[in-house]
Structure 1
């Protein structure tokens, strides 16, 4: 499966059917290879994946991620097979362990240790149909143990909220022949104060989740830098901002560090699809 050099990551729960179709038109028009979407409190992952595939023509559609607590491994394997059989082999199954509030608080499940839980899930996928799934299986991997599992038992990783240094470390652990599809938030905005304000608002919900906080600490950010909405250094690392050329330079550092694919997430005011689409146009040749 060809993901292309660049893709787009979008928080799809914020969009209705018309908004999703408009997003797909913009992403395809600008030549991006893949559209990635999450599974949170709104749309169910596989149903949404089917809608996105049915309303696009050439894009790879990737879950980033489908929560392993939302469906058993057999169902995930059949979903991967079904979507690729019905939509010309354009679906990539990104899997993740999600976060305690989304698993225990929202779904009422017990949140197990992440790496053993994912390992058991991947074993279930293999039992459901043999060693080779009917499309790529990628893992939301931040720490070295999950990255090692991605290398050993999956087709690669889809890290989120990371830096080029994390990309470098991930590429070393994954080794050759694996997909390393890195999400990077962007804001084409030369007013630094405004860009940082947008970034802080976007990152606020992630800064209460231990999985991300622990990874940021591993990457060298301090506890003080993660307080009160995040330091300027932290926000600037998480959300590349400036003019288009400055943002493009930042995206290229991920490729230099070993990413095989970078998916950009435009950060805008809520509902500002005009700014989103302008960013997609400006960054398409990064």
Structure 2
């Protein structure tokens, strides 16, 4: 027997100014408090147990009451975000223990980047967690044959009982050079990969939803055509509503269509120190032409053109000073815990349904950053 948690909103412009309600006993009998016209159902089962946690904990979708009525039926809080999690050599067991804690704390997902073997970590998550959704964000389409990916993806999908999303993308030029890869045109390569991946279902078994990494119009439209979702990294918050217009209204409002963004995050009352950390995090991204073009489209032409000129002049030490405050405020979250919470809420007003926080810290590494995030969102 399973319970489901649904997220419901009123007819106000922002979906997250509404309320969170607990649904009934099974996938076949979804209910929603009569709070508005729409409900966004989270498609993962959760174990039914006594509802003893405060309303805010229910926002994550990881706890539900034991009877037909909800405890703490309503709250104005947005859900806890998902997180980006990588397995670093020497700390892989600690990474799994952290994932279990993130599940217990009510975070809404775990998404694994390609470094640190994201697919391998997802396989481990399928066996070490029970409720939390997870996936790759992203797996590089050029490093494995699609039929081989299909075998692993189907395995993870089955072992996790449908909690896994297969996020894929083309990566970037420096990766191709480092690995000696020969690549074609991104849109054509993604299309061929997805078709070949799905052709493997006959032998591999049922496949997970496919989520495409995107930045701009054409790849986003391809995600709407071929995929079950789209994920950005380092998107500009004010530009997101405009980006989403490249999807059909049906996709934008389909709760099963994944719309996510990975956002670098640093929590510190010393806002300048936190900003400096995020600038370091993005220092390699601002050198990439794809990202430069996206941020120009998003309204940061002055910053990107200055960075391009600086790179051409081989004056890389000047780049951090060109990563402006107005740009940083749009593409990252930083500052006090309250400021980061406000930023998370603001992101959910853009039209995405999954915010993936990528935590860093002014005081230490990944484990310290996650502890700060957990404490900030309790």
TM-score of the pair, normalised by structure 2: 0.68
Q: Which residue of 2 aligns with 1:259?
A: 352
Aligned equivalent of 1:189: 268
* Aligned match of 2:54: none
What is the SS of the residue equivalent to 2:123?
A: helix
Q: Equivalents in 2 of 1:121, 1:98: separation in Å?
A: 14
Counterparts of 1:101 and 1:12, CA distance in 2: 22
Partner SS state of residue 207, structure 1:
helix
Corresponding residue number in structure 2 for 1:268: 361
The 1:76–1:66 alpha-carbon spacing in structure 2 relative to 1, beyond 3 Å, is same
Change in 2 beyond 3 A, CA 1:34/1:15: farther
1:17-96 mapped onto 2 (5 Å cutoff): 17-40=92-115, 43-96=116-169
CA deviations on 1:218-277 (whole Å, 9 max, x unpaired) are 111124356312122222222212222222222222221111111111121442623431
**1:25 Cα deviation (Å)?**
3.0
Give 1:110's match in structure 2, choosing from 170, 177, 182: 182
Label 1:272 to 1:89 Cα distance change in 2 as closer, same or farther (>3 A): closer
What's the secondary structure of 1:259's corresponding residue? coil
Could you say which residue in structure 2 is the equivalent of 1:207? 286
Q: Give SS of 2:365's match.
A: coil
Using the TM superposition, name which of 165-174 and 188-197 deviates more.
Answer: 165-174
CA distance in 1: counterparts of 2:97 and 2:368, whole angstroms:
11
Task: Compute the TM-score of the two structures, normalised by the length of structure 1.
Answer: 0.89
Q: Deviations over 1:28-71 (max 9, x none)?
A: 1210121011113xx33322221232222222221000000011
CA distance in 2, matches of 1:13, 1:233: 32
Radius of gyration: which is bigger?
A: 2
Aligned equivalents of 2:221, 2:90: Cα separation in 1 = 35
Rounded to whole Å, the distance in 1 between the matches of 2:302 and 2:240 is: 22
Write the distance in 2 (CA, Å) between the matches of 1:257 and 1:11. Answer: 27
Stretch moving more, 59-68 or 177-186? 177-186
Q: Secondary structure at the match of 1:111?
A: coil
> Distance between the aligned counterparts of 2:119 and 2:85, measured in 1?
16
Distance in 1 separating the partners of 2:366 and 2:88:
15
SS at match of 2:114: coil
The structure showing larger relative contact order (alpha-carbon pairs under 8 Å, at least 6 residues apart) is 1
Q: Secondary structure at the match of 2:261?
A: strand
Structure 1, unpaired ranges of 5+: none
Asked if the contact 2:261–2:352 (Cα under 8 Å) also holds between the matched residues in 1, the reply is yes
**In 2: Cα distance, 1:160 partner to 1:141 partner:** 8
Task: Give the alignment's Cα RMSD to 1 decimal.
Answer: 2.3
Q: CA deviation at 1:166?
A: 3.5
Whether 1:135 aligns to 2:208 is yes
State the distance in 2 between where 1:133 and 1:221 align. Answer: 43
User: Residue in 1 aligned with 2:336?
Assistant: 243
Contact kept? 1:171, 1:180, Cα under 8 Å: no
Could you say which residue in structure 2 is the equivalent of 1:217?
A: 296
